Structure 1
Amino acid sequence: MQLHTQTWGDGDRIALLIHGIMADHRTWRRVGPALADRGYHVIAVDLRGHGASGRGAYSPELYADDVVETLPAGAELAIGHSLGGLTLSLAVDRLKPRRAVYSDPGWHLAAPSEGFGPELLARFKSATREEIRAMSPRWEDVDVDIELATLALWDEQTALSLAPLLGADLMPAAPVVPSLVQLADPSRLVSPERAELLRSRGFQVRSVAGAGHTIHRDDFDGFMASLEGWI
């Protein structure tokens, strides 16, 4: 599926941005321009079931196929957040960016007994402004507005389709390209033990102190600082 994209900048270097579940390209409203200011031509997608892209069957493999169909290979940089991190890890051998950043990637989806479930995630489709604010108290008001707008477009079947992956270990065995794993503090998706395993497999791992899961919205300055040497 050819995906809807948003671009910033006209630099010689290309950066690719892949959002997480429930979001779309608007989650990168500050990251895209910041990378453009650093000389990148930035391309952000709306994954299928999100934003202005099409609907259909849903799986991480299909998301990966879509980004490979839509985005250019050989970019200087690719960043994937959450579900976008999982998607990037499944597409990186075909996209072949020079560097990859996995921002709090969805490589382990906890079982309902661990406080996660596709049904709970799907019900967030109807979240109120107050509920979003309570869950993300550090977000700017404009990000709460964007979250409400993206939820209105989001197909919650994307969440329900994750059920077969609950409890699975989806971490890559090794980085295909030089790779940074950027973690929330604490991360609910990558435990300290898994972070050490990733280091042993050749990934660089950094945490952004005090940041929640959507690091780039919780602490934009911390997000950018943690990318030092990678952008």
Structure 2
Amino acid sequence: MRLHTHEWGGGDRTALLVHGIQADHRTWRVIGPALAGRGYRVIAVDLRGHGASPRGEGATAAERYGPEQFAADLADTLPAGADLAIGHSMGALALWRAVEWLKPVRAVYSDPAFVYDRPGVGPEPFVSFKRLGTRQFITTMHPDWPAADVDAELAALAAWDSDTAVGLWAHPELSVLPGAPAVPSLVQLADPSLLVTPAEAAELGRRGFEVRTVRGAGHCLHRDDPAGFLAALDGWI
């Protein structure tokens, strides 16, 4: 499936940005221009079921959405051999599963949802957030977000197909830590990360990933602390 994309800049280097669940390319409204200012042509996607991209096809949510479908769409849409590819949360999961096709020079997995199927965790909170995600709810959750980020979150929620969450959890066999990285890879963690345990972070380090923590940032690292997010990419961008 060909995905909707949004671009910033026109530099000689290329950076790819892949958002997480419920979001779309607008989540990168600060980071996209910042990378463009560093000489990148920045391409951000809307994953299937998100933003302006098509909805998935099939009789069930499992057929319409899942890690392998998200990854295949990235391969269908994005150029191979980019200088940098960054995926956040579920977008990191999709990027990891697409990295063998995309072959970026460097990959960054930002608070990745590699292991999403855990006891007591399922799609229900995400599905209910489609209904509960009012402006007041979002500003209560993220009191430091500027109004533009709240606006972007509300717009993304309105465009989002919540079956993406149902489909994701229909594939528990794909909820695993990656093996050795296919390209030089950085894992950025929230402080603390609710998606990557300390033991998993240590194991990723043993498997060849560089692991860094963005101190004081929540799961949406690039929105909670854009400067800290960029600082944690030192040597990678």
Quick check: 1:108 aligned with 2:108?
A: no
Q: CA deviation digits over 1:176-218, x for unaligned, max 9?
A: 0000000000000001110000000000000001101010000
Query: Tell me, which stretches of 5 or more residues in structure 1 are unaligned?
Result: none
Farther-moved stretch of structure 1 (25-34 vs 159-168): 159-168
Identity %: 62
Instruction: Report the AA paired with residue 139 of structure 1.
Output: W
1:67–1:168 CA distance, 2 compared to 1 (3 A): closer
Structure 1 residues 112 and 133, CA gap change in structure 2 (3 angstroms): farther
8 Å Cα contact 2:117/2:169 also seen in 1: no
Q: Report the counterpart of residue 144 of structure 2 in structure 1.
A: 138
* Paired AA for residue 105 in structure 1: P
Contact 1:109 1:167 in 2 (8 A): no
Structure 1 position 164, deviation (Å): 2.9
CA distance in 2 between partners of 1:61 and 1:167 (Å): 11
- Between the aligned partners of 1:139 and 1:108, the Cα distance in structure 2 is 27
SS in 2 for 1:162: helix
SS at match of 1:42: strand
**RMSD across aligned positions (CA):** 1.2
Task: Give 1:83's aligned residue.
Answer: 90
Unaligned regions of 5+ residues in structure 2, if any?
57-63
2:19 alignment partner in structure 1: 19
The superposition leaves residues 93-124 of structure 1 with CA deviations (integer Å, 9 ceiling, x where unpaired) of 110000000000101115352xx320111110
2:37 alignment partner in structure 1: 37
Output the amino acid matched with 1:44.
Answer: A
> Quick one: which of 125, 150, 163 aligns to 1:120?
125
1:1-231 to structure 2, matched below 5 A, reads 1-56=1-56, 57-111=64-118, 113=120, 116-126=121-131, 127-166=133-172, 169-231=175-237
Give the superposition deviation at 1:130: 1.3
**C-alpha distance in 1 between matches for 2:164 and 2:174:** 17
Change (3 A) 1:135 1:225: same
Q: 1:210 to 1:110 in 2, by over 3 A?
A: farther
Q: 2:101 and 2:111 mapped to 1: Cα distance? A: 22
- Give the 3-state SS of the residue equivalent to 1:15 in structure 2: strand
Does the CA contact (< 8 Å) of 1:182 and 1:208 recur in 2?
yes
- Aligned partners of 2:66 and 2:171 also within 8 Å: no
Residue 166 of structure 1 and its aligned partner are, at CA, apart by: 5.0
**Displaced runs of 4+ in structure 1, greater than 4 A?**
165-169
Once the two structures are TM-superposed, the CA of residue 29 in structure 1 deviates from its matched residue by 0.3
* Distance in 1 (alpha carbons) for counterparts of 2:144 and 2:115: 25
CA distance in 1: counterparts of 2:129 and 2:197, whole angstroms: 24
